Amino acid sequence: MSREETLNELKKVIAPYTTNKDMLSSIDDQTDLIRDLKINSANLVDIIIDAEATYDIEIDYDSADKMINVGTCLDVITEKLSQK
């Protein structure tokens, strides 16, 4: 799966949790989940759980802790997919 394909799937995972729907269409690696997409910290856990189900991966606590912007989310997902 390419980074762009992973990003497109990640947008679908994030969409239900963001209050900034306009920003969602133009996200990039630097987009902050909390500051830019207005996702609250409780929903970050939901996003991680949904990402695990979507990509059929397991995201450990240390990896989840890194997932603060779109780029690090993609990096963690890509790393976990490569370990399968």
33, 74 in Cβ contact below 8 A? Answer: no
- Look at residue 80 in the predicted model and tell me its pLDDT: 96
Question: Tokens in use for 51?
Answer: 């990402």
Domain count, the chain: 1
Tens place of pLDDT for every residue, the chain, 84 residues?
Answer: 899 999 999 999 999 999 888 888 899 999 999 999 999 989 999 999 999 999 999 999 999 999 999 999 999 999 999 998
Q: What is the CATH number of the domain that holds 18?
A: 1.10.1200.10
CA distance 9 to 3: 10
Q: How many CB atoms lie within 10 A of CB 65?
A: 11
- Look at residue 25 in the predicted model and tell me its pLDDT: 86
Q: Which structural domain, as residue segments, surrounds residue 18?
A: 3-82
Output phi, psi for 32, to 5 deg.
Answer: -85, 130
